[in-house]
Structure 1
Amino acid sequence: MTASLPSPSSTASSPEAGAPIALVTGGSRGLGRNAALHIARQGIDVILTYRSQAAEAEATVAEIERLGRRAVALPLDVSQSAGFAAFAAQVREVLSGRWQRERFDFLVNNAGIGIHAGFMETTEAQFDQLVDIHFKGVFFLTQKLLPLMNDGGRIVNVSTGLARFALPGFAAYAAMKGAVEVLTRYLAKELGPRGIAVNVVAPGAIETDFGGGAVRDNAQMNAFIASQTALGRVGQPDDIGGVIASLLLPGSRWVNAQRIEASGGMFL
């Protein structure tokens, strides 16, 4: 259930046609997958994207459908902005064929990579890759998808706690996320007339395979982060997915242009 359009009869159940729809980039694994599942549990259908792991995307779609929601996975390389117009056309086709709808409601800009390199060791190629994925990708993908979003919708951009506190080796990565945080405020201002709220969630250190899984697999790093966190442990994906999903719910409709750090209280 990737790029092809499955028929409505293939779902595990028959959710109401009017359920809201969220598009989650990088939704096949890690924080994106967890967010997609939390979103589905709130009665929201999901379009998720993946770059290369089609099998993981299929598994996430299947799990969402077991929750009684509709889901479709589409391939997308967020570093290649030249392909965003074609991707938007594909989303339009999926909305029509799968949901008999013209627009979706929520956008979660989550897809990303981690590069750990000291300032003096960071190459221009690494810098450009981070720009393309974490800033240019978010900027222009959002631009291309906005015509397909309903007024009154929500956008959630994913940043990092490293935009607040500084740790050696993340200068370029954190700078891109800082740019996204500024962009979030500008989007909130410019999209206000459409009733679209835009917020940013900044996770702290989380045990995933992100950045090679260092936080998860390096016992010394894990212990250090836990010792510097008020709640005394490193974060889990489930600590973040629920925060993202909550910003899409009606009860959060008045939260706008905010940076919400979900770090358990790191480096207070």
Structure 2
Amino acid sequence: MTTTKNKTALITGGSRGLGRDMAINLAKKGIDVVLTYHSNKVKADEVIAEIESEGQKGIALQLDTGDVNSFDSFFARLGPELKEQTGSPGFDFLINNAGTALYAPFAETTEAQFDEIFNIHLRGVFFLTQKALSFMNDGGRIINISSGLARFSFPGSSAYGSMKGAVEVLTRYLAKELGPRGIAANVVAPGAIETDFGGGRVRDDKEINRHVAGVTALGRAGLPEDIGGLVAFLCTEEARWINGQRIEASGGMML
């Protein structure tokens, strides 16, 4: 297995769920990890301990990815932290993973709900990536986390699915415009995964879990470990020629 040495990844929302598994899998590839967390520093520090147990450096920083006005101060903190920990203020991989769920019928979705989802899943991704560019090393990778809900539709996810669809289009533009710097941009779109996302619906509601399993070719709902390894792979040299692509990891949902 080829490992990537002396590279650093920034993962938003890395303290739990899919982000946690991504962080650990990146560390196993020999990649140092900066992760952001919204409020649970204890969980974030637990992930840092796991990263360090793999022999890699880890940094946890608080960030609200829905608050664009906080991004300048975030990067002002990140640069010196990276310089101290890794010897360089730059990083190589940006994984836009942080997000929250919204389950509301289209006819009942409020402007406040829409704005919150927009700020986290599209506005935040757009401008965090924009501000990250001056810190990213040439030849790096951007991985945006989308959802199977951008391809298939379940009632109650119109706002969330729409934002993820927009991120998928944005990713193709990133791949096109950042190509001269050797920066590749791709989308990973998980299907329904058993985490605490959205209150743990897929994990804890037996009826929902059974329904997901029934519409999935491999016959079960996804697990965090079904996603983290894919994201880590996209940060390796073996994946260097993958660019501008949407990779769905759903076990074959709704085929």
TM-score (norm 1): 0.93
1:210 to 2:197 alignment: yes
Give the aligned partner of residue 62 of structure 1: 49
Kept in 1, the 8 Å contact 2:78–2:89? The answer is no
Aligned amino acid, residue 156 of structure 2: G
In 1, Cα distance between the equivalents of 2:87 and 2:240? 26
2:234 aligns with one of 228, 235, 247? 247
Listed as ranges, the matches of 1:219-238 within 5 Å are 219-238=206-225
Matched, 1:53 2:40: yes
Alignment partner, residue 182 of structure 1: 169
- 1:10-50 CA-to-partner distances (Å, cap 9, x unmatched) read xxxxxxxx610000000000000000000100000000000
* Offset of residue 90 of structure 1: 1.1
2:116 maps to which of 125, 129, 148: 129
Pairwise CA distance, 1:102: 2.6
Letter in 2 for 1:216: R
2:154 to 154, 162, 167: 167
Q: Find the aligned partners of 1:93 and 1:51 in 2 and give their Cα distance.
A: 20
Which residue, out of 242, 247, 251, partners 1:260?
247
State the alpha-carbon separation in 2 of the partners of residues 20 and 258 from structure 1. Answer: 22
- Aligned-pair identity in percent equals 60
Find 2:10's aligned residue among 20, 23, 26.
Answer: 23
Alpha-carbon contact 2:81-2:89 (below 8 Å) kept: no
Instruction: In structure 2, give the amino acid aligned to 1:222.
Output: N
- How many equivalent residue pairs? 251
The CA deviation at 1:191 is 0.1
Match of 1:5 in 2: none
> In the alignment, residue 89 of structure 1 is paired with which amino acid?
A
Distance in 1, matches of 2:191 and 2:68, equals 28
Which of residues 29, 44, 54 in structure 2 aligns to 1:42?
29
Supply the RMSD in Å over aligned alpha carbons: 0.6
Q: Secondary structure at the match of 2:133?
A: helix
The correspondence for 2:62, drawn from 72, 75, 78, is 75
3-state DSSP class of the match of 2:9?
strand
**2 CA distance for matches of 1:94 and 1:200?**
28
SS in 1 for 2:174: helix
TM superposition outliers: structure 1 runs of 4+ over 6 Å: none
CA distance in 2, matches of 1:267, 1:99: 43
Structure 2 CA distance for aligned equivalents of residues 28 and 221 of structure 1: 25
Question: Are 1:91 and 2:64 counterparts?
Answer: no
In structure 1, distance between residues paired with 2:54 and 2:235? 18
User: What's the CA shift string for 1:80-102, capped at 9, x where partnerless?
Assistant: 00010111111111111111113
Instruction: Give the distance between the partners of 1:102 and 1:112, measured in 2 at CA.
Output: 26
Secondary structure in 2 aligned to 1:147? coil
